[in-house]
Amino acid sequence: MCRFAGVDVEISMIDPHDQSSRDELLLMSPSFLVPCLTIDGLEIWDTLAIGEYLNERSPDSGLLPSDRALRAHCRSISGEMHSGFASLRSAMPMNMKARHIDFKIFTGARADIDRIEEIWRTCLERSGGPFLFGEKPSMADAMYAPVCSRLHTYSVETDGACPGYVDHMLGLADLVDWTNAARSEPDEILELEAEF
């Protein structure tokens, strides 16, 4: 979202094998959650709040549409992604290093994919693309970028305008950089334990 908003960012990676990671994560994010954006003396650790802040900071970036109805729609589908699609997340974990050709998609995940395709088709038909709300990438595009990656990882076929949208998103320089960075991460990530 920062890059879509034209904001230069420095990404801090935490080594999950380092015993001091828990302390460092707590310093970076009071909720112990990532991502956490530290900007202008603020710590913002909720993805939707990050998007809202960036839109207020750079209103011409297109993170949220200028039209009130489209802005509400963008917020709605971003919120649906933020809090929903648990079956998809569970059945198809994010893994940018893997590629599964004959992956069995379970019923719950299929229903989530069908709903996402419906959202994308509606938005792309209305906006004309190439992004969900037109010529510029929005907060919604940033929220659905991980879905594009999951669909690629698990070789999920989509229909209508959806395959073109996925290809367009995954071909963006920012997402190519993101994918390359993910592929350079260690294969095994140890679970962090936090005491509160």
114 & 176 share domain: yes
56 & 38 share domain: yes
48 & 70 share domain: no
Is there a domain that residue 191 lies in?
A: no
Domain limit, last residue, from 62, 84, 106: 62
51 & 76 share domain: no
41 & 89 share domain: no
Is there a domain that residue 188 lies in?
A: no
Q: Which two structure tokens, joined as six digits, stand for 144?
A: 């659905």
Q: Is the pLDDT of residue 138 over 70?
A: yes
Domain limit, last residue, from 36, 62, 88: 62
Write down how long the chain is. Answer: 196
41 & 132 share domain: no
pLDDT at residue number 10:
85
Is there a domain that residue 146 lies in?
A: yes
Domain limit, last residue, from 25, 45, 62: 62
CA angle 131–137–140, rounded 5-degree value:
85
Per the DSSP assignment, residues forming a β-bridge with 43 are 38
What count of other Cβ atoms lies within 10 Å of the Cβ of residue 17?
10
Domain extent, residue 147, equals: 64-181
Number of domains the chain contains: 2
**Which residue type sits at 195?**
E
Q: What is the per-residue pLDDT across 154-196, written as a single tens digit (0 to 9) for each?
A: 999 999 999 999 999 999 999 999 899 888 877 765 454 544 4
Q: Which two structure tokens, joined as six digits, stand for 160?
A: 């209508």
**For the residues 4-8, what does the mean pLDDT come to?**
91
Q: Specify the CATH number for the domain of residue 35.
A: 3.40.30.10
Q: Is the pLDDT of residue 26 over 50?
A: no
Going by C-beta distance under 8 Å and a sequence separation of 6 or more, which residues neighbour residue 170?
148, 149, 152, 176, 179
In a 3-state reduction of DSSP, which class is residue 169?
A: helix
pTM of the model: 0.85
Q: What is the per-residue pLDDT across 76-130, written as a single tens digit (0 to 9) for each?
A: 999 999 999 999 999 999 999 999 999 999 999 999 999 999 999 999 999 999 9
24 & 83 share domain: no
Question: Which of 81, 86, 169, 94 is CA-nearest to residue 124?
Answer: 169
93 & 74 share domain: yes
15 & 98 share domain: no
